[in-house]
Structure 1
Amino acid sequence: MKRAVKYGFLIFAFMLFSCNGADYYNLGIYQARQGNQEKAIEYFTKAIEVNSEDADAYYNRAYAQHLLGGKEKQTISDYSKSLELNPNDNEAHMNRGLIYMKMGENEKAISDYKESIRINPDYPIVYANLGNAYKLNLDNEKACENWKKSLELGNENVRQRLNLNCE
């Protein structure tokens, strides 16, 4: 029994210390799915240390930080690096826009939302977010226009905003 435990520990240690970037990335995904965002961030960081060109690791680290909150500048930095490596990631544009909006940088949020729409014009959530950013900028006409488009694409969650703010 002792030999089996010792052997099992050696296999675990070998796997832990011989991980490549993809292994760390997969461990990060596993931890994120388990709801352990802090541990996921650790693994995504290790994946980035092994492969600094891994757009998905930057994106997922940003997303985990986004869920935890409180690290907006680092989150923006990671989404930006992800987009540098994969500029056509509409989700990264949208999510970075959410962080910009949270920080009160609505013009940057609007720019990201528009880029997300350029990449995927059939994504109703981004139109809702764009409408919200315009509303924060006191541009009710553009807010209503984007909420209507979101509703047309099937997002019922904007109906109340339309009823309250739009003719």
Structure 2
Amino acid sequence: MGVSEKNQKSSQSKLEVKTIAKNEAVVISLSGELSVFNTPQAYDAVSKVISNHKYNIIVDMSGVSYIDSFGIGFIVSSLKETIRFGGDLKLSALSPFCERIIKKILNLDTFISVFETVEEASADFKSNAASAAYRWQQVLSRQPEYPDAYLNLSRIFLRNGLLVEALAEVKKALEINANYIEALNVCGQILLKMGENEEAIIKFKKTLDAKPDDLEALTWLAICYDDSNMLDEAIARYRNVIEIYPKYADLHYRLGMSYLKKQNHEQAIDSLNRAIEINPNYLDVHRALSTIYIKRREKDLAIKHLQAICSISLDAKEVSETRELLNRVTRENFPNSYFLEKIL
């Protein structure tokens, strides 16, 4: 094979990834080969989006010339990850090769939404909440004793900030099945958001009576104490959960933030660095660490995490402000406070 042929093959095997944040969802545009050699780039893009607390993703595949089993694995795994946070992933503008693999051979469009254009996928996200709520209301009109339907309806209301409506629906699920663990956990989360911390604690403890190792209830119970400023109790509970589930970055982040609230900087740094080891794109952790290092006047470490914020954040205003701060810190012109209001 000649040099030009090798260069051409190398170029074709590359993957270009572009990310654009829209109102309804974040669009990740892929161009090139989505294969074993470059799926890490695609995973990295999704990780950064989720770190921005954005869980609705559209993958534009119009420029994908080739996809293998690793590329398919990326799509399925990313779908599961967005759903875990209450979001969704949709595919748009499949290239001819991808359409043949995804739709005609694997039939993935039976459980992954596929659209002709990015605009159609965006429109579906925009109408999705209303249509999903209507769908479950129709189910309940036929099966009024179906607790899962009330729970799913509650989750839709919760995702859209309709707390009173969400609480009413999840209570209906619990009236049918008082020991419904998923409903108890959702009810606890709603109550916590409404400021009813003591009632939320009761719900999570009831879950743990039935299932002592339930990760969701263990975590949210610790969050309840954290939110109530009972920091010693929260720290003890976070540490206990980490002993059972040591590889969850969120737990290390929350533990680190509790230490930071107590001004225990060394312990906060240890926990936050552990979160970064598990998830290098954890934006909130970079914000927290940059805050600590700026306060401690540790220039090089502060710059490291400020640069990470610029790389990961999808908020143009935040990126602009962080770059300005980078220039200040580089000149050792440290501000008195930074990010504390955002992360505490």
TM over 0.5: yes
Q: Of 194, 208, 218, which aligns to 1:83? A: 208
Once the two structures are TM-superposed, the CA of residue 58 in structure 1 deviates from its matched residue by 0.7
2:28 aligned with 1:28: no
Once the two structures are TM-superposed, the CA of residue 17 in structure 1 deviates from its matched residue by 8.1
Give the alignment of 1:11-160 within 5 angstroms. 15=141, 18-67=144-193, 69-154=194-279, 155-160=282-287
Structure 2 letter corresponding to 1:48: L
> Contact 1:132–1:143 (CA<8 Å) still a contact in 2?
yes
Bigger strand share: 2
Give the distance between the partners of 1:71 and 1:116, measured in 2 at CA: 23
Going from structure 1 to structure 2, the CA distance change for 1:161 and 1:54 (only over 3 Å counts) comes to: same
What residue number does 2:292 align with? 165
Q: After the TM superposition, which of the residue ranges 89-98 and 147-156 deviates more from structure 2?
A: 89-98
Bigger helix share: 1
Equivalenced residue count is 154
Question: Deviations along 1:94-136, whole A, 9 cap, x unmatched?
Answer: 2222221121111221122123322321111211110111223
Query: Residue 170 of structure 2 aligns to a residue in which SS?
Result: helix
> Contact 1:90–1:115 (CA<8 Å) still a contact in 2?
no
Going from structure 1 to structure 2, the CA distance change for 1:164 and 1:21 (only over 3 Å counts) comes to: closer
Query: Residue 26 of structure 1 aligns to a residue in which SS?
Result: helix
Going from structure 1 to structure 2, the CA distance change for 1:21 and 1:151 (only over 3 Å counts) comes to: same
Going from structure 1 to structure 2, the CA distance change for 1:24 and 1:160 (only over 3 Å counts) comes to: closer
The higher relative CO (CA closer than 8 Å, separation ≥ 6) is in: 1
Q: After the TM superposition, which of the residue ranges 108-117 and 142-151 deviates more from structure 2?
A: 108-117
Q: After the TM superposition, which of the residue ranges 146-155 and 23-32 deviates more from structure 2?
A: 23-32
Q: After the TM superposition, which of the residue ranges 46-55 and 78-87 deviates more from structure 2?
A: 78-87
Once the two structures are TM-superposed, the CA of residue 35 in structure 1 deviates from its matched residue by 3.4
Going from structure 1 to structure 2, the CA distance change for 1:148 and 1:72 (only over 3 Å counts) comes to: same
Q: Which runs of no fewer than 5 residues in structure 2 stay unpaired? A: 1-137, 299-344
Give the distance between the partners of 1:131 and 1:78, measured in 2 at CA: 25
> Contact 2:185–2:216 (CA<8 Å) still a contact in 1?
no
Going from structure 1 to structure 2, the CA distance change for 1:163 and 1:85 (only over 3 Å counts) comes to: same
Query: Residue 213 of structure 2 aligns to a residue in which SS?
Result: coil
TM-align CA RMSD: 2.4
Q: Which runs of no fewer than 5 residues in structure 1 stay unpaired? A: 1-11
Give the distance between the partners of 1:26 and 1:164, measured in 2 at CA: 38
Give the distance between the partners of 2:214 and 2:148, measured in 1 at CA: 20
Question: Deviations along 1:29-70, whole A, 9 cap, x unmatched?
Answer: 333344322111111112112211111111011112233x32
Going from structure 1 to structure 2, the CA distance change for 1:73 and 1:163 (only over 3 Å counts) comes to: same
The structure whose Rg is larger is 2
Give the distance between the partners of 1:84 and 1:114, measured in 2 at CA: 20
> Contact 2:145–2:176 (CA<8 Å) still a contact in 1?
no
